[in-house]
Amino acid sequence: MTIALIGPSGAGKGTQAARLVATGNLLHISTGDLFRDALEKRSALGFLTRQYMNCGELVPDEVVGSLIEEWMVKAMPGREILFDGFPRTRFQAQLLDDLSNRQGRELRAVIYLKVPDEEVVRRLQGRIVCRSCQTPYHLEFLPPAVAGRCDLCRGELYTRDDDNPDTVLTRIRNSHRTLEPLLDHYAEMGKLVIVDGVGDVAAISATLNQVMADIEAGSAAFANAEALGDIQPLKGTVTAISSTEARRAALDIVLLGGPGSGKGTQAKILTRELALDHVATGDLFRENIRGETELGKLAKTYIDRGELVPDDVTEAMVEDRLSRIEDNRGFILDGFPRTTPQAEALTEIMNTLERRLSAVLHIRVSDDAIVKRLSDRLTCRKCQTPYHREFNPPETEGVCDKCGGELYVRDDDNPETVRARLKTYHAQTAPLINYYRGLGLLVEIDGEQSMETVTGRMLEVLGDLGRKSRPPAV
């Protein structure tokens, strides 16, 4: 039997998962544990994960899925599995469904811990963590024996930067955006069980134990549409673009494209030709971490713990960067958004800044062409500068023009891995494309032409948009 325990941050998933494991024949797994284990053991997947983290890039879902699959293969047959905090998105839910089916494991139920926003805020603001061993405590629910000191290692206890009021509220909004489609998915499958997560820890634990017994016996009460409506105060999610005309003279562009589509190259050309700001998420991470900004320090705490940097931190970096762009100057956003919830977050950010997107350019390239392109891609081990054997070769074979570092083919650029990444990309991007098509912002660009032709077509599209946005001559 496979069970997933999900809920908003601060719902008590980790605490309750530990209690369930202690009372049953369960194998407990959380993505944080998986990443730390892979990094510590220096496995191939751990090495690949560290590469993404060190480059300031988001770890793709296919890598997360590979870690989950590797662990499930090692799990002893017949043992029950309890997933803690996974899946977090509808795509990850579909990934888990596929893995379970391939391995002959049935995902019996997904238990959602229902906790109101106000309670989440109260809980997160009382959390403290040991600096040395990362053991969590809570000032109200799980205080340490000695104030300010860890019971296990005597390390200093502190409040994590991401538990401040502003970040907590941002995280809650993000949780609303991702949980709604996830809950719909499992409700449609008839596998969602709702448990009230407010109250005494022991009482909630007893309820969960009874729910597990009911699931095993086939008598569990699964959520219907009415119950789902009751638990979704998933309010405040902004899905419409503000009608404000402020700052419309600037060209604000999102660039979409699969790995190897030429998106990064085109972004740099358009930035130069149109005097736009190029906002790339990889650069944002590196700049914030290198500059030791508050957001950079926060992102680094996740990376150092071997955890994925959550969407709310990425969104905060994007909002901070966009807020520093002059009113009459446009931007090209490269690498964000990647999912529909992130697109909704961007819409909310744009409304706050009184800006609006001019267009979303989608560079379409066939999978076969992308596989060929990426197989010839090279990267400098030292400064991460990208090259290509055909389109952008180095002056000296195998040597970086900028720093003299060694050039190599990244592990995730081999054909098999590329096709896995493309499968993930299509699954995530299809809803995103439909989202922007529905808003009338999507412009499709044929990316299989020469680089110059693709650039010309983009400049033509953006030139037309620029003329439309200018006020009429007087």
Are 405 and 282 within one domain?
A: yes
Residue 49 lies in a domain: yes
Residue 121 lies in a domain: no
What per-residue confidence (pLDDT) applies to 245? 45
Are 191 and 300 within one domain?
A: no
Are 328 and 364 within one domain?
A: yes
What per-residue confidence (pLDDT) applies to 45? 66
Are 210 and 304 within one domain?
A: no
Are 220 and 346 within one domain?
A: no
Cross-strand pairs, 111: 5, 193
Residue 123 lies in a domain: no
Are 101 and 177 within one domain?
A: yes
Are 226 and 260 within one domain?
A: no
Spatial strand order in the sheet of 377-380: 386-388, 377-380, 407-408
What per-residue confidence (pLDDT) applies to 170? 74
Contacts of 28 (CB under 8 A, 6+ apart): 17, 18, 20, 21, 82, 84
> For residue 338, what are the domain limits?
252-469
Total residues found in the chain within this entry:
474
Alpha helices (H) in 353-450, listed in sequence order: 367-375, 415-438
Residue 26 lies in a domain: yes
Are 86 and 192 within one domain?
A: yes
What per-residue confidence (pLDDT) applies to 358? 92
- Tell which phi-psi region holds residue 459, choosing left (phi > 0), alpha (psi between -120 and 50) or beta: alpha
Q: How many other CB atoms are there within 10 angstroms of residue 471's CB atom?
A: 7
Token pair in block for residue 12: 């008590």
Return per-residue pLDDT of the chain as tens, 474 residues.
789 999 888 888 888 988 888 877 788 887 777 777 777 776 666 766 766 666 555 566 667 777 787 777 776 666 788 998 788 888 788 888 888 888 788 889 999 999 888 888 888 888 888 888 878 788 887 899 999 999 999 999 988 776 777 677 777 877 778 888 888 889 989 999 999 999 888 999 999 999 999 998 999 999 877 777 766 544 444 444 444 444 456 899 999 998 888 898 899 999 999 999 999 988 888 888 888 888 888 787 777 766 667 788 888 889 999 999 988 899 999 989 988 888 988 998 998 898 989 999 999 999 999 998 888 889 999 888 888 888 789 999 999 999 999 999 887 788 887 887 788 788 778 889 999 999 999 999 999 998 899 999 999 999 887 665 544 333
Report, as residue numbers or ranges, the catalytic residues.
Answer: 263, 338, 377, 410, 421
Q: How many angstroms separate the CA atoms of 122 and 356, rounded?
A: 34
Residue 52 lies in a domain: yes
Q: How many angstroms separate the CA atoms of 108 and 235, rounded?
A: 29
Number of separate domains in the chain: 2
User: Under DSSP, is residue 28 helix (H, G, I), strand (E, B) or coil?
Assistant: strand
Q: What is the CATH number of the domain that holds 447?
A: 3.40.50.300
What per-residue confidence (pLDDT) applies to 307? 65
Q: How far is residue 360 CA from its own chain's centroid?
A: 20
Are 70 and 29 within one domain?
A: yes
Using CA of residue 105, residue 69, residue 303, residue 147, what is the dihedral sign? positive
What per-residue confidence (pLDDT) applies to 78? 64
Are 74 and 110 within one domain?
A: yes
CB 285 within 8 A of CB 297: no
Residue 247 lies in a domain: no
Q: How many angstroms separate the CA atoms of 79 and 51, rounded?
A: 33
CB 386 within 8 A of CB 377: yes
Are 336 and 420 within one domain?
A: yes
For 226-264, how does the pLDDT look when each residue is reduced to its tens digit (9 = 90+)? 777 766 544 444 444 444 444 456 899 999 998 888 898
What per-residue confidence (pLDDT) applies to 376? 87
- pTM beyond cutoff 0.75: no
Residue 366 lies in a domain: yes
What per-residue confidence (pLDDT) applies to 93? 87
What per-residue confidence (pLDDT) applies to 48? 67
Last residue of a domain, one of 230, 265, 280: 230
For 461, the enclosing helix (H) or strand (E) is helix 451-469
CB 280 within 8 A of CB 265: no
Q: How many other CB atoms are there within 10 angstroms of residue 235's CB atom?
A: 8
Cross-strand pairs, 256: 362
Residue 127 lies in a domain: no
Considering only CA atoms, which of 4, 160, 170 is closest in space to residue 96? 4
What per-residue confidence (pLDDT) applies to 102? 80
Are 256 and 213 within one domain?
A: no
CB 326 within 8 A of CB 217: no
Q: How many other CB atoms are there within 10 angstroms of residue 155's CB atom?
A: 17
- Tell which phi-psi region holds residue 451, choosing left (phi > 0), alpha (psi between -120 and 50) or beta: alpha
